[in-house]
Amino acid sequence: MPSDLLSIADLDDASLLHLVEVAGRYRAGLADRPLAGLSVALLFEKPSLRTKVSFDIGVHQLGGHAVYLGKDEVGLNTREPARDVAHVLERWCCAIVARVFDHSTLRDLADAASVPVVNALSDLEHPCQALADLATVQQRFGRLEGVTVAFVGDGNNVARSLAMACAGVGAAFRIASPPAFALERAWVDAVNARYGVKGPRVEEFDDPAQAVAGADVVYTDVWTSMGQEAESAERRKAFAGFQVDDRLLDRAAPGVVLLHDMPAHYGEEVPLGMLDSPRSAAFDQAENRLHAQKAVLRLLVVVE
């Protein structure tokens, strides 16, 4: 059992499958209260809808109490160092959920804290999103192994965690990106190492049509993530031709499911209305953040 969830790689294959299974049980109505009498700190340097609300409600449903701390309240590494923040919060809280700009801040929190630290998004990874993504694929297909996931867009934090999660559960992972925005070679190598010698390999494309051909799941994300706003004009130019629309989805497998972690930048990675398409599971995916994160807190905080 990991002591923190900073990276999806902190979870071995069995833990990934366990969390997907427990997320399904929460979705089906499991109503245990393993956090009764406990408090969880939600420490956010960046805005959030899904992550903030789903953790807050999730902690409440598990019987606990969530304390939200926004970027102007704590001043991580400005008002006081991350290690001091961790040492103070651990005196009151059974876990620290943190959304940070720089992944090293999460490491500093985790190195110092005696309680679990959960990555609620960093520049490097978004593991809670990837767990909700797996839960959604399991919900839609009834299996994970052998499902083909095609990610169209930036080789960003969401893509990194999703690729590693797919390797852990035996789902094939493809990615189409403009060359300057591809997944880093070291990350692809690490994902391939996780697949092992018998598994598939990450397939990389610069043509979205090739990447989605016959895929069961097509996944996209914004071209400009939080904190990259100064690059948005350059990115819009680089990602021209990478929009996921109905014509692109027609190249995928019959019954293809469209995933998007949201928020969407309509008119960029998807046209307006695309997430309301019958082929979209984006709102199930958002709901599954709640179920997956409850499973994470149960695993990390409560000895099962």
What size, in residues, is the chain?
Answer: 304
What distance in Å separates the CA atoms of residue 54 and residue 285, rounded to the nearest whole number?
12
Range list of β-strands (E), 46-161: 65-69, 95-99, 117-119, 148-152
What distance in Å separates the CA atoms of residue 138 and residue 130, rounded to the nearest whole number?
12
Decide whether 164 or 172 has the Cβ nearer to ligand CP: 164
Number of alpha carbons in the 13 Å side-chain half-sphere of residue 120:
31
User: Three-state DSSP class for 236?
Assistant: helix
When binding is defined by CB under 6 A, the residue of 119, 129, 148, 161 that contacts ligand CP is 129
When binding is defined by CB under 6 A, the residue of 7, 51, 177, 224 that contacts ligand CP is 51
Compose the 243-262 pattern: x for residues touching ligand CP by CB under 6 A, - for all others. Answer: ------------------xx
Where does this chain touch ligand CP (CB under 6 A) — which range of 18-26, 49-57, 63-71, 197-205?
49-57
Decide whether 128 or 215 has the Cβ nearer to ligand CP: 128
Structure tokens at 258: 């469209």
What distance in Å separates the CA atoms of residue 299 and residue 304, rounded to the nearest whole number?
7
Residue 157 binding ligand CP, by CB under 6 A: no
Decide whether 289 or 298 has the Cβ nearer to ligand CP: 289
Amino acid residing at 200: P
When binding is defined by CB under 6 A, the residue of 121, 211, 270, 275 that contacts ligand CP is 121
Which spans of this chain sit near ligand CP (rule: CB under 6 A)?
Answer: 48-51, 121, 129, 261-263
